[in-house]
Amino acid sequence: MQPMKVRHATRLVLLSLPCLVCAPACGDSSADAGDTKSTNTETGDGDGDGDGDESNTNTMGDGDGDGDGDGDPGTGDGDGDGDGDGDGDGDPGTGDGDGDDACQELDSDIAPVPPSVAFLLDRSGSMNDTGFDLMDPNKSRWQSLYEAVEGVVGDGNDMNIAFGAKTFSTAGFGGCGVSDGMDVPLDLNNAVTLLANIPGPQEMVNGGTPTPLALEKMMNYMIPFEADGTKVVILITDGRFSCDVDTPEDEAAALDNAVATIGAGLDAGVITYVVGIAPSVFGPIIMQLDAMADAGGAPNPMPPHSYYQADDAEALSVALQQLVDESYELSCLLNFAEAPFFPLYTKVEIGGNEYELVDDCENEDGFVYTDDTFLQVEMCGAGCVDLAEFKTANVQFYCNPN
């Protein structure tokens, strides 16, 4: 489920405050005239500037015809600051008086909102099988799975993506038992913890394949999990359901339950990818994988299957890396520590490309605010692609940009 995109036509209102001009108090010119008797006595001159010109020297009113507020004739610019540049700032310069210089509130580098990726890993006995990889026939399915997971979480991705993991069936719970909690809860910088708490690459795994129950337990954790970014489950399995499916009707009901569980997760914003490790072409396993992948909201766009098929270790690693990268692209979100005062003037720069607010995130390159708090944006089009690649953005708040 993508974050709600809210388009706002923000109206900026400029409040004009009345300019109160206080006339300077003038001295009593009649009192001044009585103080001295000199022929050069300053007297009230009636010219309106209150400077008391010397008698017999003022032949024309000096009422500051230049408008610069100094009370003397001249060629001022009329702004009252005395600097002649018309900008009213009182300093020498060449301003044009229109006040359009850029005003920047904030310039900050921020990381995108991290997605949360939970691996749901089949550790049934068939994952010990070897020979599926022609390039390395001695490698088991589980070893290939472990190395693929290690490759994506241990390559620095865990700094930008919250990873977690759950295996099934759960060790100590019997062949078809699944624990309630996660083997490794979701968290950033979690690679070492995750790899240390799932079976190692050479470990012998065992148990059945209670996939519907494992999905139920996973969604019980993922749906209420609070995350600003995209929430993703990556189910990796090699075989058909093998628990509580004594008849074809039982197996069909189990698939219905699995699809319903995945669908409920999608309705709550949890996307599910399905990866099949060299699954058998016999029996209903292909149908099960396709049905679950379709329900998860992110089916493989390449035919013939909706799930991602990995027939060898390299294909598994490539598929897993692709899905982790895609989980990042699905997020495309940036959180702001504070809201911009003028939301329309925000700019986001990623990889040397500058993006501005757009109206249509589906068809334009830029960003939209996800709600009217203006604390989060979703990058759109090329902006989303750049964010997934560079994994950092420079955000600039302006009050009047150039």
Per-residue pLDDT in tens (0 to 9) along the chain, 402 residues: 333 333 333 323 333 333 333 333 333 433 343 343 333 444 444 444 444 444 444 444 444 444 444 444 444 444 444 444 444 444 444 444 444 445 667 778 888 888 999 999 999 999 999 888 888 889 999 999 999 999 999 878 898 899 999 999 987 777 899 999 999 999 999 999 999 999 999 999 999 999 999 999 999 999 999 998 899 999 999 988 989 888 989 999 999 999 999 999 999 999 999 999 988 766 789 999 999 999 999 999 998 999 999 988 888 999 988 888 888 777 889 999 899 999 999 999 999 999 999 999 999 999 999 999 999 999 999 999 999 888 899 999 998 656
Range of the domain at 367: 333-400
Residue 255, domain member (yes or no): yes
Written as one letter, the residue type at 24 is: P
Residue 7: the pLDDT is 32
Whether residue 168 lies inside any domain: the answer is yes
Q: Is residue 81 part of a domain?
A: no
> So what's the pLDDT on residue 18?
33
* pLDDT of res. 102: 55
**Is the residue at 267 inside a domain?**
yes
- Kindly state whether residues 288 and 374 are assigned to the same domain: no
Neighbour-count burial of 314, counting CB atoms closer than 10 A to its CB (0-12 exposed, 13-18 middle, 19+ buried) = middle
| The pLDDT of residue 107 | 78
What CA–CA distance (Å, rounded) separates 346 from 234? 36
Q: Structural domain tally of the chain?
A: 2
Listed residue (121, 124, 185, 119) closest to 152, CA to CA: 119
Residue 107 belongs to a domain: no
Q: Is residue 163 part of a domain?
A: yes
Residues 208 and 322 in one domain: yes
Is 291 within the bounds of a domain? yes
Instruction: Verify that 319 and 185 share a domain, yes or no.
Output: yes
- Residue 361 is inside which H or E element, if any? none
Question: What is d(CA 335, CA 326) in angstroms, rounded to the nearest whole number?
Answer: 20
Residue 285 sits in a domain whose CATH number is 3.40.50.410
A 10 A CB-CB count for 292 gives: 27
- Beta-strand relationship, 347-350 and 231-237: unpaired
Name which of 370, 368, 375, 369 is nearest 339 in CA terms.
375
Q: What would the two tokens of residue 85 be? A: 């540049």
Q: Specify the pLDDT at position 164.
A: 98
**Same-domain status, 385 and 256:** no
- Where does 299-343 have alpha helices with state H? 313-331
Regarding whether 387 and 321 lie in a shared domain, the answer is no
Distances (CA, A) of 287 to 11, 252, 299, 301: 54, 10, 13, 17
Total count of residues recorded for the chain: 402
pLDDT confidence of residue 104: 67
Choosing from 331, 357, 373, the residue where a domain stops is 331
Sign of the four-CA dihedral 351, 356, 362, 363: negative
Whether 391 and 111 have beta carbons less than 8 Å apart is answered as yes
Residues 184 and 198 in one domain: yes
Return left, alpha or beta for 292; rule: phi > 0 is left, psi -120 to 50 is alpha, else beta. Answer: alpha
Do 323 and 339 fall into the same domain?
Answer: no
Last residue of a domain, one of 303, 331, 359: 331
Do residues 361 and 233 share a domain?
no
Last residue of a domain, one of 298, 316, 331: 331
142 and 226 co-located in one domain: yes
- State whether 209 and 354 are in the same domain: no
Same domain, yes or no: 242 and 377:
no
Q: Which helix (H) or strand (E) holds 390?
A: helix 382-390
* Pair (278, 388) in one structural domain: no
For residue 15, being part of any structural domain is answered with no
What residues contact 13, with CB distance under 8 A and at least 6 apart? none
